[in-house]
Structure 1
């Protein structure tokens, strides 16, 4: 049995921009990818709304700093064959990551360092890593999300180049979600069910390539 850990934010959790609730279980991208990878591959979805790469958010009860929680998840789910990281969206909030892809890139580097250097149980190796650049933001008239992310619509266009740079420096695989899905204008940052499913299907081959 191969094990894949999908580490992300609300896009991995399955936030539905229409209802503000969660997509149907079988529409969430880790479940879609896991079903298509087959019975000998287990994909664990570890998504949390608002999660950042490495920045604190003191406005909520849950720990949203990815760098703080990742070591616990690596220990919990080991041995891991592949770690998929799709984070960065919430780093573009001005009150957490600073509002720029530059900070997101720095946080992503920290996550990769944690995963590659973690003291795994004797006999276990560090997982291969697939970095997924988040989809581009789009304009929205939803007032709260417009305030949170409206300033960063153009900035989000730089996710691909930033994630590619990290992948090249640390020897990771890379995939650009913007190639296969588009965010919903209902809030400008999340994916509807169709696009969430599309992302899961598109990630099957990149994950399988690392498992092979």
Structure 2
């Protein structure tokens, strides 16, 4: 029986290319997006890429729009794809934007709210709870055109792995930390280069198989 994996993330799930100018809309071809490569490594799974550039955990973005609030979109997306066996939740990078003024601990708390929403959704098999795999994104750099937007975020991002890992432990969610696995692009300090897709796909596939 086929199982469903929902990849709920931001621009790095969407496949956004590193940005050399503000407003750039480049997106990697399907073969260079990690959800597509992950699907090839997981026969028997339907892998749904649900990545929205700019998506936060729980914050309305006063500049880019309240529709980027991951909490507000989550319930509808879960219901549209149910039954969902597993949600791969990879958010937090956009919360590092200077405009939000939150700590790494705050970001982990935002993710915890999403984990609890997923568990309470009734969108798993037979109306149960989907399993959750929480992924801590790699540390960012303050470089390129996005440096002013993420001012002060690099130091906070170094703490995300520990904070998100502790949250996953207390909620019983599976956890992966991307620090040391991949690095952000030196072009804009936020997005990933094409080569990261294969690394991520294999890393995620190994963990998902281990969850069975």
TM-score > 0.5 by shorter chain = yes
After superposing on structure 2, the runs of 4+ consecutive aligned residues of structure 1 that deviate more than 2 Å are: 58-62, 119-124
Pairwise CA distance, 1:121: 7.8
Partner of 1:44, secondary structure, is strand
Pairwise CA distance, 1:119: 3.5
C-alpha distance in 2, partners of 1:179/1:122?
A: 34
C-alpha distance in 1, partners of 2:103/2:125?
A: 39
**Are residue 26 (structure 1) and residue 31 (structure 2) matched?**
yes
The alignment's TM-score, normalised by the length of structure 1, stands at: 0.92
Pairwise CA distance, 1:28: 0.8
> How does 1:121-200 map onto structure 2 within 5 Å?
123-140=126-143, 142-143=144-145, 145-200=146-201
> How does 1:1-212 map onto structure 2 within 5 Å?
1-17=2-18, 20=24, 21-38=26-43, 40-60=44-64, 63-96=67-100, 98-120=101-123, 123-140=126-143, 142-143=144-145, 145-210=146-211, 212=212
Partner of 1:85, secondary structure, is strand
C-alpha distance in 2, partners of 1:122/1:192?
A: 35
* Deviating more after overlay: 58-67 vs 75-84: 58-67
Runs of at least 5 residues in structure 2 that lack an aligned partner in the other structure: none
C-alpha distance in 2, partners of 1:17/1:197?
A: 17
Pairwise CA distance, 1:52: 0.3
Partner of 2:67, secondary structure, is coil
The alignment's TM-score, normalised by the length of structure 2, stands at: 0.92
User: Size of the alignment, in residue pairs?
Assistant: 207
Instruction: State the Cα RMSD in Å.
Output: 1.7
Residues 109 and 166 of structure 1 are in contact (CA less than 8 Å); yes or no, is this contact kept in structure 2?
yes
Residues 57 and 114 of structure 2 are in contact (CA less than 8 Å); yes or no, is this contact kept in structure 1?
yes
Partner of 2:4, secondary structure, is strand
C-alpha distance in 2, partners of 1:34/1:121?
A: 19
